């Protein structure tokens, strides 16, 4: 027995309880588990009071868009039904998505209970209710030939589903057809113009937002757009402590800082590390009341093994290069709180990293610069891209990959840091930061120090 209140034979009970608190594999849908998003939830709530207003949440992969959407939907959706959740696929169309919405609405129709004992049924163009069973037209997908048809289906959905129906349309950017995506802008406008009481919460990357708004500029007034940044440090700590406190475990400040730094602001990594940490504590032969550095390091190693394959693949492509010296270069690119960096700053990180490794000869600055340029190539995983605005700066093509690089370094005994803002303020003051993203601004809170500085 290593966790107070649980015996060694109660793995099932422990695992069940743990997975009510950590969410590395599916979106959060309850406000008590969603940390660091109070302002965004408040904005969504206020926006949804406006007639004809819908929500578009956008940002990098892994920042928690789906969790914010699900939690907001749960808050706004009336209690007489569950909100409708539709995930987009590459081959999705307006017709297929609206047909899916109708099918889900039929399963939880509030009309079911009303007509259960009624002798007469209810029939509309697309729905029919007989003896408490709601059905939709078998050929509904084929019947939706235009945006107008889609609007009429959603009008009927609003009538049969609930008092305040909410639809989450997740990963909108996955729809490959630009023509299909553009139809949604017109759909939103018509829903508002016709005063259909249904709310859509859409998530996607920034590019999909541009595609949506560009198709129909008048649809802008139908949308409250929310750019979701990386999770702040306070929220990262709250996630870990909410889990450990529930089991009577304390975590040292240093380990909390390390989890916050390594996770890079992505909730997925914080939840994954927390899950692995708790399992290591449970598997101890004696009762544990405090997580040690050894527990944390073991959790990091397990988290590295568990990360999704699409994040591992670019990293593995880079380190398998014949020269055999790319791994330390990769670590150096992630050794900062700033997501956009100059090669000279990265090389400063590299020289520090190499002092921590034995029997490794560091690259000179020219060869290091060549490695950085190679990391743009497909053969090396296409990890880095030049900054589109400021010449000489580099950033990650897939921002979430940087967190994986940081975990790999940590698993190999290299603690990467975030630079103090004062150290690089002059270098970055000419770079316009994205609103709320923190990509060019340090997010490290006051009072957090990493015990080293670089030239």
**Per-residue DSSP letters for 66-128?**
HHHHHHHHHHHS-TTSPPEEEE--TT--HHHHHHHHHHHHHHT-THHHHHTT-SS-EE-SSEE
State the architecture of 11-18+231-306 in CATH terms: Orthogonal Bundle (1.10)
- pLDDT, one tens digit per residue, over 425-445 is 333 333 334 444 444 455 677
Half-sphere exposure of residue 282: CA atoms within 13 angstroms, side-chain side: 22
3-state secondary structure of 396: strand
- pLDDT, one tens digit per residue, over 376-396 is 999 999 999 999 889 999 999
Q: What is the pLDDT of residue 207?
A: 67
Residue 358 buriedness (CB in 10 A; 0-12 / 13-18 / 19+): exposed
- pLDDT, one tens digit per residue, over 214-261 is 656 667 788 999 999 999 999 999 999 999 999 999 999 999 999 999
Question: What radius of gyration do the chain's Cα atoms show?
Answer: 25
Tell which phi-psi region holds residue 330, choosing left (phi > 0), alpha (psi between -120 and 50) or beta.
Answer: alpha
In sequence order, the β-bridge partners of residue 135 are: 128
The arithmetic mean of pLDDT across residues 58-83, rounded, is 94
β-pair type (199-204, 166-170): parallel
Q: What is the pLDDT of residue 426?
A: 32
Correct CATH for 37-227 of 3.30.420.10, 3.40.50.300, 3.40.140.10, 2.40.50.140: 3.40.50.300
Q: Which residue has the tokens 């504590």?
A: 281
Q: C-alpha angle with apex 43: 37 to 49, nearest 5 degrees?
A: 135
Domain boundaries, the chain: 11-18+231-306, 37-227, 309-428
C-alpha 24/C-alpha 305 separation (Å) is 14
C-alpha 125/C-alpha 160 separation (Å) is 12
- pLDDT, one tens digit per residue, over 126-145 is 777 665 566 776 678 888 99
Q: Which contacts qualify for 320-324: CB closer than 8 Å, 24 or more apart?
A: 321/374, 321/380, 323/371
Whether the pLDDT of residue 109 is over 60: the answer is: no
Whether the pLDDT of residue 122 is over 60: the answer is: no
């Amino acid at each position: 027995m290593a966790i107070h209140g649980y015996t060694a034979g109660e793995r099932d009970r422990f695992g069940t309880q743990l997975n009510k608190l950590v969410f590395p594999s599916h979106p959060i849908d309850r406000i008590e588990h969603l940390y660091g998003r109070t302002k965004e939830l408040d904005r969504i709530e206020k926006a949804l009071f406006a007639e004809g207003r819908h929500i578009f949440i956008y940002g990098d992969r892994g920042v928690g868009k789906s969790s914010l959407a699900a939690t907001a939907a749960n808050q706004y959706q009336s209690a007489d039904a569950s909100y409708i959740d539709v995930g987009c696929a590459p081959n999705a169309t307006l017709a297929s998505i609206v047909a899916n919405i109708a099918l889900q609405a039929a399963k939880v129709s509030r009309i079911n209970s009303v007509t259960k004992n009624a002798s007469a049924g209810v029939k509309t163009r697309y729905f029919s209710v007989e003896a408490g069973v709601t059905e939709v037209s078998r050929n509904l997908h084929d019947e939706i030939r235009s945006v107008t048809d889609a609007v009429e289906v959603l009008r009927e959905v609003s009538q049969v589903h609930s008092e305040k129906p909410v639809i989450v349309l997740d990963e909108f950017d996955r729809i490959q057809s630009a023509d299909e995506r553009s139809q949604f802008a017109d759909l939103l406008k018509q829903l508002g113009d016709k005063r259909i009481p249904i709310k859509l919460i859409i998530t996607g990357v920034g590019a999909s937002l541009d595609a949506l708004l560009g198709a129909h500029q008048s649809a802008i007034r139908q949308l409250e757009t929310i750019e979701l940044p990386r999770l702040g440090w306070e929220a990262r700590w709250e996630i870990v402590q909410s889990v450990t406190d529930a089991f009577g475990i304390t975590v040292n400040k240093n380990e909390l800082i390390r989890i916050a730094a390594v996770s890079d602001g992505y909730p997925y990594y914080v939840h994954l590390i927390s899950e692995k940490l708790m399992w290591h504590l449970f598997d101890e032969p004696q009762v544990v009341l405090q997580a040690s550095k050894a527990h944390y390091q073991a959790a990091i190693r397990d988290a590295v093994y568990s990360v999704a394959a699409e994040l591992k693949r670019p990293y593995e492509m880079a380190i398998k290069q014949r020269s055999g010296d790319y791994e330390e270069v990769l670590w150096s690119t992630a050794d900062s709180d700033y997501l956009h960096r100059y090669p000279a700053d990265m090389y400063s990180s590299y020289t520090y990293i190499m002092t921590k490794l034995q029997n490794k000869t560091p690259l000179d600055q020219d060869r290091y610069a060549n490695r950085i340029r190679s990391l743009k190539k497909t053969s090396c995983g296409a990890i880095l891209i030049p900054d589109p605005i400021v010449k000489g700066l580099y950033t990650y093509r897939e921002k979430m990959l940087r967190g994986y690089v940081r975990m790999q370094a940590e698993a190999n005994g290299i603690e990467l840091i975030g630079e103090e803002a004062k150290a690089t303020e002059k270098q970055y003051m000419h770079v316009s930061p994205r609103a709320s993203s923190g990509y060019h601004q340090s997010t490290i809170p006051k009072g957090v120090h990493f015990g080293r500085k670089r030239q």
